[in-house]
């Protein structure tokens, strides 16, 4: 059986960063990746229009100033192919591929209590023993498709946005359906609309969206960013979202309607996600939120010609940004085209798939291709795919049957020497995930260094610390509007999933401080053992 110090699961941005960091620290690291190449979600989400909602300069690694200086982003918001080129460049530049095994899916990981190591088994029958198990499996990687009656009868092509095929998908002359209007559906709609003969977008919930304000990066802009990249990073690390927007102390309710309109207009045309931070209380107070929501509704109204469509496309019934808003490039305008139709599935639900297409309560639609942009089993889906078996046979699925329980989103009691990167309990999807990823991995590396220096072989989150962290997550989210609606933040995206708010809403800056304090306190809330606890238990039993 192969033996390594650190076994990393997943070769996306987090997995590669973990490999780089732990290898630099002298550890023997192995990354296993189920797919044939690196990139994680960016490998799989090759749908037309896929693009990052975070500005390229911020959605990139900060660990190498040389890399920062050498890489030249072409657009303010990078497309999926450009992001893949970037991550491939990083992998080659730092010679990362030699420690990655592709086409290797972990089926289970079992904690061997006697040796304080993990034994990882893969689909191909391979086993690896590792001191540490790092789960870098992403939050948005377990795709979710509704299981409509007749699905397998459909004669055309069925594609999921999150598992986009590698062959060229041709829409020309075709009748295409997109089911789902989250970020993925909204990004692909304008592009497919231009190529397909006819496009039907099946919408369940109208979503808020902000224009991407994308543009090519000029040489002058590139030089300006690179001249003070550190300061830019510092701003990102010390901002609430990891996007670098400075704290805003003004309430949306303390300014005149005229000034508010001007501020929203300026943010609308340039800031993407930053729009949500125009005033500090947009996500905290319903009345403040209403002002932003109303501004967006007016914007939608100004670009959609048909009044019935306009009404259907207008988000109602949930506060702006309490569900993840999209950042789009011409989504609403697409519905002015003659070849684009909106099918409102609340008004007329999908009854079944047929060999020719989809039958709703209202009518039968014929399609050549149906695209599921129906999202993911978020946060826990990918962590539950393999069986992770900790102390005393406890499985992660059982441990989290009522929702994720963690200390700082990083460690779980009964699962010693296992770290979760940007999973539940961390700022994760409420942040620029790149910032949270690097922050957590560097912190974990510090923890492992401490263990090495003091001769510890086992680290485990303490149940009491998990309770305190869970309470803190709940206390912080109660200050916000996130709980006022169903969303994938609170498990509503999958029927039967525990309804627990999963990410940490206290912000990147606050989280960073908490991690720092925890480290200064000797990694409080974690227990460390120099001999595996199981052996100590046996020794004390022998004495009785």
Residues lying near ligand NAP in the complex (CB under 6 A): 51-53, 140, 146, 161, 179-185, 187, 202, 204-205, 324, 345, 373-376, 429, 488, 493
In the complex, the smallest distance separating the C-beta of residue 58 from ligand NAP, rounded to whole angstroms, is: 12
Nearest-angstrom CA–CA distance, 274 and 262 = 15
Q: In which element (H, E) is residue 159 found?
A: strand 157-160
Nearer to ligand NAP, 323 or 407 (CB): 323
Cα–Cα distances in angstroms (integers) from residue 29 to residues 32, 130, 245, in the given order: 10, 9, 35
User: Which tokens go with 373?
Assistant: 């942009």
In the complex, the smallest distance separating the C-beta of residue 270 from ligand NAP, rounded to whole angstroms, is: 17
Nearer to ligand NAP, 141 or 406 (CB): 141
Question: Residue 116 region, left (φ>0) first, then alpha (ψ -120 to 50), else beta?
Answer: left
In the complex, the smallest distance separating the C-beta of residue 92 from ligand NAP, rounded to whole angstroms, is: 24
In the complex, the smallest distance separating the C-beta of residue 467 from ligand NAP, rounded to whole angstroms, is: 29
Nearest-angstrom CA–CA distance, 69 and 225 = 9
In the complex, the smallest distance separating the C-beta of residue 159 from ligand NAP, rounded to whole angstroms, is: 13
In the complex, the smallest distance separating the C-beta of residue 455 from ligand NAP, rounded to whole angstroms, is: 41
Indicate the burial class of 524 (C-beta count within 10 angstroms; 0-12, 13-18, 19 or more). middle
Q: In which element (H, E) is residue 475 found?
A: helix 463-478
Nearer to ligand NAP, 379 or 469 (CB): 379
In the complex, the smallest distance separating the C-beta of residue 2 from ligand NAP, rounded to whole angstroms, is: 34
Could you give the dihedral angle defined by the CA atoms of residues 236, 24, 133 and 87, in that order, rounded to the nearest 10 degrees?
Answer: 60
Nearer to ligand NAP, 34 or 140 (CB): 140
Nearest-angstrom CA–CA distance, 43 and 163 = 9
In the complex, the smallest distance separating the C-beta of residue 207 from ligand NAP, rounded to whole angstroms, is: 6
Q: Do you know the residue count of the chain? A: 544
Nearer to ligand NAP, 18 or 327 (CB): 327
**Residue keyed to tokens 């923890």:** 447
Nearer to ligand NAP, 182 or 525 (CB): 182
Residue, CB closest to ligand NAP: 182
Nearer to ligand NAP, 111 or 504 (CB): 504
In the complex, the smallest distance separating the C-beta of residue 348 from ligand NAP, rounded to whole angstroms, is: 12
What is the b/e burial string over 97-114, where b = at least 16 CB atoms within 10 angstroms of the residue's CB? bebbeeebebeebbbebe
In the complex, the smallest distance separating the C-beta of residue 136 from ligand NAP, rounded to whole angstroms, is: 17
Spell out the long-range contacts of 403-406 with Cβ–Cβ below 8 A and sequence spacing 24 or more.
403/491, 403/498, 403/499, 403/500, 403/502, 404/379, 404/380, 404/500, 404/502, 405/466, 405/470, 406/461, 406/466, 406/469, 406/470
Nearer to ligand NAP, 438 or 466 (CB): 438
- For residue 57, which of 83, 39, 31, 81 has the smallest C-alpha distance? 83
Q: In which element (H, E) is residue 290 found?
A: helix 286-303
Helices and strands per DSSP (H, E), number in the chain: 16, 20
Is residue 268 within 8 Å of residue 236, measured between CB atoms?
Answer: no
Nearer to ligand NAP, 373 or 389 (CB): 373
Nearest-angstrom CA–CA distance, 202 and 245 = 35
Nearer to ligand NAP, 184 or 436 (CB): 184
Is residue 294 within 8 Å of residue 314, measured between CB atoms?
Answer: no
Nearer to ligand NAP, 121 or 483 (CB): 483
In the complex, the smallest distance separating the C-beta of residue 75 from ligand NAP, rounded to whole angstroms, is: 13
Q: In which element (H, E) is residue 267 found?
A: helix 257-268
């Amino acid at each position: 059986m192969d033996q390594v110090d650190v076994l990393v699961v997943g070769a996306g941005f987090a997995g590669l960063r973990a490999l780089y960091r732990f290898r630099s620290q002298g550890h023997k690291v192995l990354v296993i990746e189920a797919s044939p190449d690196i990139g994680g979600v960016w490998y799989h989400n090759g749908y037309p229009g896929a693009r990052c909602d975070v500005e390229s300069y911020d959605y990139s690694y900060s660990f190498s100033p040389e890399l920062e200086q050498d890489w030249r982003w072409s657009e303010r918001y990078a497309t999926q192919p450009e992001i893949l080129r970037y991550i491939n460049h990083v992998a080659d530049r730092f010679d990362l591929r030699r420690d990655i095994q592709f086409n290797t899916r972990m089926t289970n990981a079992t904690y061997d209590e006697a040796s304080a190591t993990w034994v990882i088994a893969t689909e191909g029958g391979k086993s690896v023993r590792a001191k540490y198990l790092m789960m870098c499996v992403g939050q948005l990687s377990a795709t979710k498709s509704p299981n409509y009656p007749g699905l397998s009868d459909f004669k055309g092509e069925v594609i999921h946005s999150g598992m986009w095929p590698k062959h060229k998908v041709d829409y020309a002359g075709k009748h295409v359906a997109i089911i789902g209007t989250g970020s993925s559906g909204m990004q692909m709609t304008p592009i497919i609309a231009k190529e397909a003969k006819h496009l039907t977008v099946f919408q369940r919930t109208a979503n808020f969206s902000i224009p991407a304000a994308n543009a090519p990066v000029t040489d002058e802009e590139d030089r300006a960013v690179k001249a003070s990249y550190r300061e830019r990073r510092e701003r990102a690390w010390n901002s609430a979202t990891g996007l670098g927007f400075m704290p805003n102390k003004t309430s949306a309710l303390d300014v005149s309607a005229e000034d508010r309109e001007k501020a929203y207009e300026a943010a609308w045309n340039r800031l993407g996600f930053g729009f949500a931070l125009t005033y500090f209380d947009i996500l905290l107070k319903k009345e403040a939120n209403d002002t932003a929501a109303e501004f967006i509704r007016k914007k939608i109204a100004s670009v959609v010609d048909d009044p019935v469509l306009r009404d259907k496309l207008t988000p109602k019934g949930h506060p702006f940004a309490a569900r993840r808003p999209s950042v789009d490039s011409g989504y609403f305008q697409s519905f002015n085209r003659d070849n684009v139709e909106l099918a409102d599935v609340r008004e007329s639900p999908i009854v079944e798939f047929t060999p020719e297409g989809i039958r709703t309560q209202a009518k039968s639609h014929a399609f050549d291709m149906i695209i599921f942009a129906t999202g993911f089993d978020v946060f826990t889906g990918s962590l539950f795919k393999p069986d992770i078996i900790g102390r005393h046979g406890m499985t992660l699925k059982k441990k989290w049957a009522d929702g994720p329980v963690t200390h700082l989103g990083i460690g779980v009691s009964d699962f010693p020497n296992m770290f979760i990167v940007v999973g539940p309990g961390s700022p994760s999807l409420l942040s620029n995930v790149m910032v949270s990823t690097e922050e957590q991995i560097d912190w974990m590396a510090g923890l492992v260094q401490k263990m090495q220096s003091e001769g510890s072989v086992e680290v485990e989150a303490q149940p009491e610390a998990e309770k305190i962290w869970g309470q803190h997550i709940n206390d912080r989210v109660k200050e916000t509007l996130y709980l006022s609606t169903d969303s994938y933040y609170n498990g509503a995206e999958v029927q039967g999933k525990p309804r627990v708010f999963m990410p940490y809403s206290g912000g990147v800056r606050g989280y960073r401080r908490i991690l720092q304090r925890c480290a200064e306190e000797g990694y409080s809330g974690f227990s460390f053992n120099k001999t595996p606890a199981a052996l100590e238990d046996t020794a004390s039993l022998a004495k009785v």
